[in-house]
Amino acid sequence: TESLSLMHMGDVLRDMHQVERAKECLNRAVAISREIEGSREEYMSLLILSEIFEQEGDSIQALAHFKQYQSVKERFAGDKADLRLKVLKVTHDTETARKEAEIERLRAMELQRKNAEAAAMRRQLQRQLDYVQALSGCSQTLLENAKTEADQKQILNQALEHLRVGSRASRSYIYYSFQDPDLGDCLGIVAEACAPGIHPHDNPTNEIASWSRVPTSMFEALKVGQADRWLHRDSVRRNSRRTGSLQKSD
């Protein structure tokens, strides 16, 4: 800066015994430094001026400039301390705000997790309630007396519909196994229940499939009481007497 250059120039001129020019440079350095609310150049220039006056034997000016030097230096040190304190306070406030924000973020995440767990628990309880109600409805329906084979089929379909709704499946079936003279071990449909918008089989009781062509996944699912979700027409063999077709089911 200009004040720093003037201070160094004044110091060099002093060493060269060009005292008046040195004083001029140093006084200008002090003035410029004061215009920018003080700096290290101000009190250092005052110290050099004090030393010059002391060398000249002007003790009054030497003492006056030395006192100014001490005053400005103390003020400058105080300003630096205040600035340091302000910086530390800003740093502390920023860190505190960051920690508080992190705490709030963790609290929000924990609340979100608990809400998600509570919602999942409510859904699970609702599914259990739906299934209990489905079992109850199925049991009540099966207690009805069937006078004809058609009545029995209707009762089975109604009972199966309770289970389909309770399990939230798009299709539900009751299967039976039998021996076919042409196909061997086969799988047939006793009852069928479909959700609204799902097209049922035209005549499910006449639709069969050979066990050998049923996907292994279906056996595994049925063993553990799970719904099978991907039986399709390609797994079924047709013949002239019967149509073997199993629709995609849940």
Q: What is the DSSP string of 107-154?
A: HHHHHHHHHHHHHHHHHHHHHHHHHHHHHHHHHHHHTSPP-SHHHHHH
Q: Give the model's confidence band at 227: pLDDT under 50 very low, under 70 low, under 90 confident, else very high.
A: low
16: phi then psi, degrees, rounded to nearest 5: -90, 5
Q: Does residue 235 carry a pLDDT above 80?
A: no
Q: For residue range 65-77, what is the model confidence (pLDDT) as tens digits? A: 999 888 888 887 7
Q: For residue range 126-157, what is the model confidence (pLDDT) as tens digits? A: 988 988 998 999 899 988 888 888 888 889 98
Residues with Cβ < 8 Å from 207, sequence gap 6 or more? Answer: 188, 189, 201, 236, 242, 243, 244, 245, 246
SS3 content of the chain, % helix, strand, coil (to 5): 65, 10, 20
How many Å apart are CA 30 and CA 116, to the nearest integer?
A: 69
Average pLDDT over the chain reads: 81
Domains and CATH numbers, the chain: 2-79 (1.25.40), 170-235 (no CATH)
How many Å apart are CA 78 and CA 83, to the nearest integer?
A: 8
pLDDT for 230: 42
Q: Does residue 242 carry a pLDDT above 80?
A: no
Q: For residue range 109-127, what is the model confidence (pLDDT) as tens digits? A: 999 999 999 999 999 999 8
Q: Does residue 243 carry a pLDDT above 90?
A: no
How many Å apart are CA 173 and CA 194, to the nearest integer?
A: 9
Q: Does residue 35 carry a pLDDT above 50?
A: yes
The arithmetic mean of pLDDT across residues 51-56, rounded, is 91
Q: Give the model's confidence band at 49: pLDDT under 50 very low, under 70 low, under 90 confident, else very high.
A: very high
pLDDT for 33: 85
Q: For residue range 3-27, what is the model confidence (pLDDT) as tens digits? A: 888 888 999 998 898 999 999 999 9
Range from 132-136, 175-179, 191-195, 211-215 carrying the lowest mean pLDDT = 211-215
How many Å apart are CA 145 and CA 56, to the nearest integer?
A: 132
Q: Does residue 241 carry a pLDDT above 50?
A: no
3-state secondary structure 82-93: HHHHHHHHHHHH
Q: Give the model's confidence band at 101: pLDDT under 50 very low, under 70 low, under 90 confident, else very high.
A: very high
pLDDT for 228: 61
| H/E segment holding residue 187 | strand 184-194
3-state secondary structure 204-244: HHHEEEEHHHCCHHHHHHHHCCCCCCCCCHHHCCCCCCCEC
End-to-end CA distance of the chain: 83
pLDDT for 205: 57
pTM (predicted TM-score): 0.44
Residues with Cβ < 8 Å from 63, sequence gap 6 or more? Answer: 50
Q: Does residue 236 carry a pLDDT above 60?
A: no
Q: What percent of the chain has pLDDT over 90?
A: 24
Chain position carrying tokens 């009481």: 225
> Structure tokens of 55?
């060398």
